[in-house]
Amino acid sequence: MPADKILVVDDEQSMTQFLSIVLRKEGFQVTAVNNGKDALDKVRAEGFDVVITDIKMPGMDGIQLLSQLKKHDPSLPVVIMTAYASQQSAIDAVNMGAFQYLIKNAKNDEIKLVVRNALEMRKVRSENLFLKRELKKGHEEKVIIGSSDEMVRVFKMVDKVADSEATILIQGESGTGKELIAREIHYRSGKAQGPFVSINCGAIPRDLLESNLFGHVKGSFTGAVRDSAGLFQVAEGGTFFLDEVGDMPLATQVKLLRALQEREIIPVGGTQPIKIDCRLVAATNADLEKDVSTGRFRADLFYRLNVIPIRLPALRERRDDIHLLVDHFLKRHAHGGTPKLMSKEAMDLLLRYDWPGNVRELENVMERALILDESGTIGPEDLPEKIRFGHSQRGSLVIDTPTLTLEELEKEYIMKVLNHTRWQKKRASEVLGINASTLYRKLLGYGLDKGERPEHMETPETPDAHAA
């Protein structure tokens, strides 16, 4: 792996020599220049992982260099050097986007720590950029399907608000596609070139949620062995999606409100505010107005989030879209082959069902039916009993060999699902309707002690794809 490249900029040769010696001992590849213009030319020509620059230099000073570097590469960490910790220009530089400032008489360990933290930030931003490109590449596959009046109203609202900077609150039941709508807003906005970062507030332990959102400084709690950037910083220049915001503890709600009002955050254990620039989109499956009345959610935060409300209808409220969704899932899971057909009887059952799990449940049901069907046309026997309203036929689940035990039948079905999902155990457990831990225990019972696909096991030729 090539060494990380550090550019040192200072008109004092003694300073560039000192920093070069310290950083080269750490294995970094160091280049030194004595003015801002040469530094900018070097970055444009060669590319660097971190730039350390003095703030006061003749010609192009550190602030001007910072501005030019941010235009060239917004993700490049720039460390500003200053003679005094209280120097206002250094603080202003941080507010303009500098990663941090260093005092010129800082100890060697402090210099190395700041550089390593800057490299960590560079890595996080690069990984997020890669993720963003992958999401864009697959964006057309994860489209929002619907032509009902209810969904047309949603689409029109998305078109109207995507380019604004206003905070958006998406409300809807689980499985209605709140994150898909948030992504659609992002990709239609002026921040589409920035990252789309998401967090499920209900899935993060309460004592770690603040650190995930706002970052933390070294030593702020047990296990905080280094400074760490929060997701607000990772989302810089893009969109930050807060899913299930209603599950956020009241203490964290206070800090989120301050971040929205002041456009700045303070890491856990820190004292220095950090400016933020990202568009916030929140979502919830709860009745936040009711939670406000009971004291579970802050009224001031609710009004700050609910600038533009978007309500997603449940699938039972837009049954006209079920035909379109079924056709979409049949084509998606055909993997380029000829899609299977739906019998009229099976479609009638889907149209009558209430879909408490909404579109997500419909996709799981369709994937299960595609696995079970062997005729090319999905019938009622391929649907779960709860949808068949008591129909007892098992269709393609019936095994030709009558001597198999119930345990052997279960194993055969589980293996069939695992093969269909290319041994993506999380996806397989969703199709099976069991927890991932339950699936893992069953695999252990089958002698697959690592939960891995045996080499002789047949797999589909085309990778499985499914909506997030």
Domain ranges of the chain: 5-123, 138-313, 317-445
Query: What does the pLDDT read at residue 168?
Result: 97
Closest CA to 324 of 175, 135, 158, 143: 143
The more confidently predicted of residues 205 and 352 is: 352
Q: At 376, phi and psi to the nearest 5?
A: 95, -10
Q: How confident is the model at residue 423 (pLDDT cuts 50, 70, 90)?
A: confident
Neighbours of 313 (CB within 10 A): 19
Which residue type occupies 291? D
Neighbours of 204 (CB within 10 A): 18
The stretch 438-461 carries a mean pLDDT of: 62
Does the pLDDT of residue 220 top 90, yes or no? no
* pLDDT score, position 98: 84
Query: How far is it, in rounded angstroms, from Cα 270 to Cα 277?
Result: 19
More confident residue, 45 or 231: 231
Average pLDDT of the residues of the chain: 83
Q: Are strands 274-275 and 264-265 parallel, antiparallel or unpaired?
A: antiparallel
pLDDT at 153 over 70: yes
What is residue 207's three-state secondary structure? helix
Largest CA distance in the chain: 89
Distance CA 372, CA 421 (A): 13
Mean pLDDT of the 142-150 span = 81
Residue pair 10/34 in contact (Cβ under 8 Å)? The answer is: yes
What is the average pLDDT across 441-459?
62
Confidence of residue 401 (pLDDT cuts 50, 70, 90): very low
* pLDDT number for residue 15: 92
Residue 351 has pLDDT above 50, yes or no: yes
Q: Does the fold of domain 317-445 match that of domain 138-313?
A: no
For residue 130, what pLDDT is reported? 52
Mean pLDDT of 176-185: 93
What pLDDT does residue 335 have?
Answer: 72
465 band by pLDDT with thresholds 50, 70 and 90:
very low
Lowest mean pLDDT among 232-241, 282-291, 384-393: 384-393
- The pLDDT value recorded for residue 456 is 45
Strands of 69-226, DSSP E: 78-82, 100-103, 168-171, 196-200
Indicate whether this model's pTM tops 0.75: no
Please give the helix or strand (H or E) that residue 378 lies within, else none.
strand 377-378
- Which of 57-61, 223-227, 411-415, 438-442 shows the highest mean pLDDT? 57-61
Q: What is the pLDDT of residue 128?
A: 52
| Mean per-residue pLDDT, 419-432 | 78
| Residue tagged 């589980």 (tokens) | 414
CATH architecture of 5-123: 3-Layer(aba) Sandwich (3.40)
Q: Return the DSSP state at 445.
A: H
pLDDT band at 322 (very low <50, low <70, confident <90, very high): very high
Instruction: Phi first, then psi: give them for residue 51, nearest 5 degrees.
Output: -120, 130
What average pLDDT score do residues 264-268 get? 93
Higher confidence at residue 322 or residue 437?
Answer: 322
Contacts of 425 (CB under 8 A, 6+ apart): 418, 436, 439, 440, 443, 451
288 and 303 in contact (C-beta within 8 Å)? Answer: no
Average pLDDT over residues 264-286: 93
Q: Specify the length of the chain in residues.
A: 468
Q: Who wins on pLDDT, 337 or 22?
A: 22
CATH number attached to the domain at 317-445: 1.10.8.60
Contact 460, 422 (CB under 8 A): yes
- The DSSP annotation for 279-303 comes to EEEEEESS-HHHHHHHTSS-HHHHH
- Tokens standing for residue 41: 């030319």
Q: Is 74 exposed, middle or buried (0-12, 13-18, 19+ CB in 10 A)?
A: middle
Q: Structurally, what CATH architecture does the domain formed by 138-313 represent?
A: 3-Layer(aba) Sandwich (3.40)
- Higher pLDDT: 150 or 123? It is 150
Percentage of residues in the chain having pLDDT higher than 90: 47
> What was the pLDDT predicted at 464?
37
- Percentage above 70 pLDDT, the chain: 86
* pLDDT confidence tier of residue 124, bands split at 50, 70 and 90: low
412 within 8 A of 380, measured Cβ to Cβ: no
Q: Which residue has the higher pLDDT, 268 or 135?
A: 268
